Amino acid sequence: METFAFRAMNSDILLAALGTPARTSEGFEETRRFIQACENRFTRFSEESELSALNRSAGTPFQASPDLFAVVALAQHFFHQTRGLFDPSILPDLKRIGYDRSMDFLRADGPAPLFESLLVEEHPSFSEMDLDETRGMILLPPGMSLDLGGIAKGWIAEQAATLLSDFSSACAVNAGGDMFLIGLPEGETHWPVAIEDPLQPENDLTTIQVDPGAVATSAVTKRVWKQGEKQRHHLIDPRTREPAQTEWLSVTVIAPHAYQAEVFAKALLIGGPQELEELSRRGAARFSYLAVDHDLKIWGNQNSLEGLYVNRTL
Amino acid sequence: MKIIKTALHYWIAIVSVLSFLVGWGMLAHSLKPVQASSQTSTQNTVSLPALPPIQAFGGLTGNNSGSGLNLSVPNNPPPVSVFPRLRSGGS
């Protein structure tokens, strides 16, 4: 199996494909170009991106590209399905706690001053956003701005894998832990996927064997920084509009689609055990998920026990 | 007269700075609205459902811990393949 690695979307991207070197090389190049074009469209860290243009348009209808419209429509669907635990309109809160530039720059320069974090401004609910499907228009209410980070990354990984599969019989796209798998490696019955130890990311906590489809992990230990004396991470709890205080360090979801895995990993992590029952009723029960608590104990739902071949590596 | 005006300017400037600092201190130590809403939200949470931990991971025994769930743990690890190492750890 051929592989190709590069950096995009502030993440390490790994492409893997089974096929002749000539075809897979061509596929890697096409896929890389696609991912970088998507990054230029969906990033909130560039004023030139389509997402930034949408955010600037708040209060007036915005003619969106089909791709942006598709991802925003998915975000709206999952906002309702998770009862608001997944909410892309928390961008003002992310900026308030210091995540106002890409993580690479944030780590190099340090976050925004602490005094800004005292000002919790009111902003409209994501439920107030309007979509016009026939014309592809998006209307953000005044004061709303979106961060499509995770759901866009999952969507891009799946689209990229579909593109790469035109050049190979089996392939994988791993976008910083959000991955989509098509087909199977030669002679294999599953894909092995290692789950990182949230406290020591250089180590693996376990390895799972998964069917083709999507795997995504959300962790409160991954994108962290200090703002003054306050420890911050990037997963905002929309109920408190502060970094989520959760009983779990990470949640991994295995689902048919990457955006499902990404959304439910985030919602389950933010909601924690208290919201598990409700989220299960609202769709999470259809997927397999593993949660890692503060003692590094792994918790799983019935599907994860029945459908995953789990091997402890530590 | 000019001395009085200058003194007045200095006096206003000093009082302004002191007032700002006092206000800053009060704001920094006051209860934030976020904390209040956080307390409210916990009143609406559902009770903790029993989710069985995968206890077999710890000892690699292959037995469950009375939870009624079976976890098969292989005696022999799968052979190492040539395909890439995929890792998921949060994005």
Interchain contact A211–B (C-beta under 8 A): no
Q: Is B66 on the interface with A (CB under 8 A)?
A: no
Among chain A residues, CA nearest to B75? A311
- CB under 8 Å to A62, separation ≥6 — which residues? A53, A54, A137, A138, A139, A140
Lowest mean pLDDT among A145-154, A168-177, A271-280, B39-48: B39-48
Domain region containing A80: 2-309
More confident residue, B35 or B5: B5
Q: Does A98 touch chain B (CB under 8 A)?
A: no
Q: How many CB atoms lie within 10 A of CB A211?
A: 14
Determine, yes or no, domain membership for A39.
yes
Residue A68 lies in a domain: yes
Query: How open is the CA angle A140-A146-A149, to the nearest 5 degrees?
Result: 150
Whether residue A143 has pLDDT greater than 70: yes
Banded pLDDT at B73 (limits 50, 70, 90): very low
Residue A59 forms contact with B (CB below 8 Å): no
CATH number at residue A222: 3.10.520.10
Q: pLDDT value at position B90?
A: 76
Q: Does A69 reach chain B within 8 Å, measured CB to CB?
A: no
Residue A89 reports pLDDT greater than 90? yes
3-state per-residue secondary structure call for A73-120? HHHHHHHHHCCCCCCHHHHHHHHHCCCCCCHHHHHHHCCCCHHHHHCC
Count of domains observed in chain A: 1
**Does residue A129 form part of some domain?**
yes
> Is residue A238 a part of any domain in this protein?
yes
| Rounded mean pLDDT, A182-201 | 91
Nearest to A125 by CA among A11, A239, A217, A260: A239
In the three-class reduction of DSSP (H, G, I as helix; E, B as strand; rest coil), residue A233 is classed as: strand
- Whether residue B27 and residue A118 make contact (CB cut-off 8 A), yes or no, is yes
Taking alpha carbons only, the member of A111, A121, A139, A64 closest to residue A232 is A111
Look at A300 and B38 and tell me if their CB atoms are within 8 Å. no
pTM of the model: 0.76
Q: DSSP label at B53?
A: B
In whole angstroms, give the CA distance from residue B87 to residue A176: 8
Residue A307 and residue B63: Cα distance in Å, rounded?
Answer: 17
Strand-strand pairing, A130-132 and A137-139: antiparallel
Give the residue from A226, A283, A291, A227 showing the smallest Cα distance to A256.
A283
Strand order in the sheet with A62-63: A62-63, A137-139, A130-132
Contacts of A3 in chain B (CB under 8 A): 84
Residues in chain B within 8 Å Cβ distance of A196: 87-90
Position with higher pLDDT, B91 vs A17 = A17
Residue in B46, B57, B89 nearest the CB of A298: B57
Q: How close does chain B come to A185, measured CA to CA in Å?
A: 7
From A83-87, A216-220, B24-28, the region with the lowest mean pLDDT: B24-28
Q: How far is CA A196 from the centre of its chain?
A: 16
Q: Mean pLDDT over residues A4-19, rounded?
A: 93
**Amino acid residing at A45:** F
Token digits of residue A137:
């228009």
Q: Give me A272's structure tokens.
A: 């924690």
What number of CA atoms fall less than 13 Å from residue A303's CA on the CB side?
16
Mean pLDDT, chain B, whole residue set: 61
Within a domain: residue A314? Answer: no
* Structure ipTM: 0.77
CA angle B81/B83/B86 to nearest 5° reads 110
Q: Is residue A50 part of a domain?
A: yes
Residue carrying structure tokens 């064997």: A209
For residue A288, the chain B residues in CB contact (below 8 A) are none
* Average pLDDT taken over every residue of chain A: 89
Three-state DSSP state, A3 = strand
A218-253 pLDDT per residue, tens: 998 887 777 777 778 888 899 888 888 989 999 999
Of A199, A223, A216, A292, the closest CA to residue A255 belongs to A216
d(CA B2, CA A159): 75
Burial call B28-41: b when 16+ CB within 10 Å, e when fewer = eeeeeebeeebeee
pLDDT at A197 over 60: yes
Burial of A206 (0-12, 13-18, 19+ CB in 10 A): buried
> Which pLDDT value is given to residue A218?
93
Average pLDDT over residues A177-186: 93
Q: pLDDT tens digits for A99-126?
A: 877 777 777 776 666 655 556 667 899 9
